[in-house]
Amino acid sequence: MAENLIEIEGLRKQFDAPGGQSHIALEGIDLAVREGEFVSILGPSGCGKSTLLYMVGGFIAPSAGRIRVAGTAVDRPGPDRGPVFQEFALFPWKTVLQNVMYGLRVQNVPKAMARARAMALLDMVNLGPYADFFPKQLSGGMRQRVAIARTLAYEPRILLMDEPFGALDAHTRTNLQNELLGIWERDRKTVLFVTHGVDEAVFLSDRIVVMSASPGRVDEIVVVDLPRPRVRAELLVDRRYQDLVLHLEARLEVMQPSRTGAFS
C-alpha cells in the first residue's frame, strides 16, 4: 500500500468575529490521502470544505491539529500544492499564454522552455489559438481551462480544486469534468476536489469525504469502487453508480437545515 501523501489529524478551525463571538468552521477532522488518489470533499454549503482545502494549501492557518504533506508540516503555500479556484483567479493583465507560463517563470524556468511547455498545455486543453488573448475575452469554461493549465504547468504534486466547475453552466461543466478525468487518468496526480455536486463527486473520485455542517465534521467516507477509465454514458446505467448517487443524496438531504428548520 502506498504511503499517505496528505495526513490530517485533529484539525480544527475557528473564526473569531470582531464582536468576541467565534464560529467553529471545522472540528476534529482526520483524513489521509494516498499518492495518486482522487478524493472529493462533498458537503452542504457552510460545512467548511473550502476552508479545509485552503488549510491544506497553506493559505490559512488551522486553529488546532496538524496537516502534513509528504511527511512535512504545512505552514505556507508551496508549488507542491497547486490550487484551482472557482473564480478562476487568472491574472487579468497577463495573456492566456503568459498566465500559463507564470508559475514556471516564477521558478526561473528559461523563457523558451516555459513557453513551449505552456503551449503544449494550452493545446491539451484546446486553447492553443487563444494564447494571445486576455482572460476577459474568454468564456468562463475557457478561463477555467486556462487556470487548470496554469496550475498543471508547474507540476504540483497535489491539485487542490475548490469547486472548480461551480461557476459554469451544466453543459460546460460536463465537458470540463470529462476533460479533467481524461487528464487525471493519464498522469494520476493526487487531487483534492471540493464540490457540492453528488454526481460530479461520484464520476471523478476514488473516495468521497462527506461532511456535515456547523461545525464541519467528517460524516462518512465513501469508497467509489467503479472501474476506470470511466465513461459517463456507461456509468449512468450502472447500478453501482446509481446506488452511490442515491446514497449520497440521501446523506446530504438529512443535513439540509431547511428539513429541520422553521421553514420545513
Partner 1 sequence: MSPGAVRGARARATGVAALPRPGGRHLLGRVLPLVLPLLFVALVWEACSRWAQTEEMPGLAEIGAAFVAILGSPRDLAGVSASLWRMAAGFALGLAIAVPVGLAMGRSPALARALNPITTMVYPVPKAALMPIIMLWFGIGDLSKVLVIFLGVSLPLLYHSYQGARSVDEKLVWSARAMGMRAAPRLVRIVLPGALPEVLLGCRVGIAMALITMVSSEMIARQDGAGELLFNALDMAVYPEVYAMILLIALIGLGLDFGFERLRRWLVRWSDTLQANDA
Q: Note the residues at the interface with partner 1 (CB under 8 A).
A: 57-59, 76-79, 81-83, 85, 87, 89, 91-94, 102-103, 106-107, 126-130, 133-138, 150-151, 154, 156
- With respect to partner 1, which residue has the nearer C-beta, 51 or 212? 51
CA–CA separation, 23 and 25 (whole Å): 6
Q: In sequence order, which residues have a C-beta less than 8 Å from that of residue 18 and are 6 or more positions away?
A: none
The nearest distance, CB 165 to partner 1, in angstroms, is: 16
Separation between Cα atoms, residue 127 and residue 148, nearest integer Å: 12
Element (H, E) at 34: strand 22-34
In whole angstroms, the minimum distance from the beta carbon of 123 to partner 1 comes to 10
Which amino acid is it at 250? Answer: A
| Nearest residue (CB) to partner 1, 79 versus 215 | 79
| Rounded Cα gap, residues 257 and 64, in angstroms | 27
For partner 1, the closer of residues 22 and 107 by Cβ is 107
C-beta of 182: minimal distance to partner 1 in Å? 16
Nearest approach in angstroms of CB 140 to partner 1 is 13
What DSSP line would sit under 185-199, residue for residue? HHH--EEEEEES-HH
Residue nearer to partner 1 on the CB measure, 138 or 224? 138
